[in-house]
């Protein structure tokens, strides 16, 4: 069965009246395969195949998603606001399940399309970061009080930078791909900062930071902006929702949004930290959730940016040393280039 035939099978499981010619690819996501669908009445839907290689427990992913979206929807209703465009809404299939398994055991889900809004994939001015900040800040505000410890860790140890550092040390020592000689300076730079790797983990262990629901993929394209006003409407792509600290979400947004070039740009001179973009995101973020953050969270937001960039450098260099077993690469030194851009960004970030 081809992927399009599978998509059609899943489409009719969720939307029996939908026509096949109303199904077409949507977006440029790298993890899940996504389609847009329409029913005869003109209503739009998003049909998505879950990548079980990345998310081996799709049931846990869906439970997390439904719990946080139900919580946000109810909070907005209590505030007298309509949640229709503010929170993703998932549909059950004809059997009442929010996940549909095809005959070949691929896993699908379906949600309502949020109309009049779209995702942006490129940064043209700081205003976009300001609105992204408002979107992610509202996400935190709406989930304030949610029992984060009850969520499943769909990617265990995802931001345990202490363990990431241990994996890096093993990869450097074993040098299975014979590449350590290519990156002696980078290995030395990271080794000299071993104590830094455990900074945020230690704060969480000491309960100096509260455990919150975190999105864990806070790039610009995961906030829908209104087509007319440009204002943040809704945070999407909730697969990686897990327990964590707000520092992670703030940091990941700065890593991707306040950098002047792509993470795999081979010209290191083009990688610069953009303070105006960082300030814009921070302003929008705190505008929406500053009132719920503790003094320690607010004070340590810059640490969040530094730890996430550091962690990503660790991950890229670890994969390079291991022979490119995790990240897709287009050429032999691709992961090394990625690690170097992250380290260049790291040294420019404010402490």
- What are the tens digits of pLDDT across the range 216-252? 999 999 999 999 999 999 999 999 999 999 999 999 9
Q: Which residue ranges in the chain fall short of pLDDT 70?
A: 1-3, 27-32
Query: How high is the pLDDT of residue 1?
Result: 46
Q: In the chain, list all ranges with CATH 3.90.1200.10.
A: 126-348
For 232-261, letters b (16+ CB in 10 Å) and e give bbbbbbbbbbbbbbbbbbbbbbbbbbbbeb
Q: In the chain, list all ranges with CATH 3.30.200.20.
A: 3-115
* Distance between CA atoms of residues 148 and 241, nearest Å: 10
Give the residue among 38, 66, 52 at the shortest CA–CA distance from 101. 52
| CATH H superfamily, domain 126-348 | Aminoglycoside phosphotransferase (APH), C-terminal lobe (3.90.1200.10)
Query: How high is the pLDDT of residue 23?
Result: 81
Query: How high is the pLDDT of residue 33?
Result: 79
Helix (H, G, I), strand (E, B) or coil at 262: coil
Query: How high is the pLDDT of residue 7?
Result: 86
Say which CATH class 3-115 falls into. alpha beta
Query: How high is the pLDDT of residue 3?
Result: 54
Query: How high is the pLDDT of residue 351?
Result: 87
Q: Decide the pairing of beta strands 242-244 and 33-38.
A: unpaired
Query: How high is the pLDDT of residue 32?
Result: 62
- pTM, whole model, 2 decimals? 0.93
């Amino acid at each position: 069965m081809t992927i399009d035939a599978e998509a059609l099978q899943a489409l009719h499981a969720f939307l029996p009246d939908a026509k096949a010619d109303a199904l077409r690819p949507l977006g440029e996501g790298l993890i899940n395969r996504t389609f847009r669908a329409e029913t005869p009445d003109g209503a739009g839907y998003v049909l998505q195949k879950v990548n079980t290689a990345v998310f081996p427990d799709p049931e846990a992913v869906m439970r997390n998603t439904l719990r946080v979206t139900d919580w946000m929807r109810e909070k907005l209703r209590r505030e007298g606001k309509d949640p229709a465009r503010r929170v993703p809404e998932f549909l059950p299939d004809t059997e009442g399940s929010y996940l549909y398994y095809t005959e070949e055991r691929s896993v699908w889900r379906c949600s309502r399309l949020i109309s009049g809004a779209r995702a942006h994939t490129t940064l043209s001015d700081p205003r976009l970061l300001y609105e992204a900040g408002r979107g992610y800040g509202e996400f935190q505000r709406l989930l304030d009080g949610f029992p984060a410890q009850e969520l499943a860790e769909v990617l265990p140890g995802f931001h345990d930078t202490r363990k990431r550092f241990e994996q890096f040390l093993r990869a450097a020592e074993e040098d299975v791909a014979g590449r350590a000689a290519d990156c002696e300076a980078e290995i030395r730079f990271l080794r000299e900062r071993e104590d830094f790797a455990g900074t945020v983990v230690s704060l969480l262990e000491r309960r100096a930071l509260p455990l919150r629901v975190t999105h864990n993929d806070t790039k610009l394209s995961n906030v829908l902006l209104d087509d007319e006003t440009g204002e943040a409407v809704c945070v999407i792509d909730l697969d990686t929702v897990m327990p964590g600290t707000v520092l992670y979400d703030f940091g990941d947004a700065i890593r991707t949004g306040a950098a002047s070039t792509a993470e795999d740009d081979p010209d290191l001179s083009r990688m610069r930290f953009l303070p105006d973009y960082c300030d814009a995101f921070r302003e929008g973020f705190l505008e929406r959730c500053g009132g719920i953050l503790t003094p320690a969270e607010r004070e340590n937001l810059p640490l969040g940016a530094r730890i996430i960039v550091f962690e990503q450098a660790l991950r890229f260099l670890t994969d390079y040393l291991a022979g490119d077993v995790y990240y897709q690469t287009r050429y032999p030194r691709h992961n090394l280039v990625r690690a170097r851009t992250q380290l260049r960004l790291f040294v420019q970030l404010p402490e």
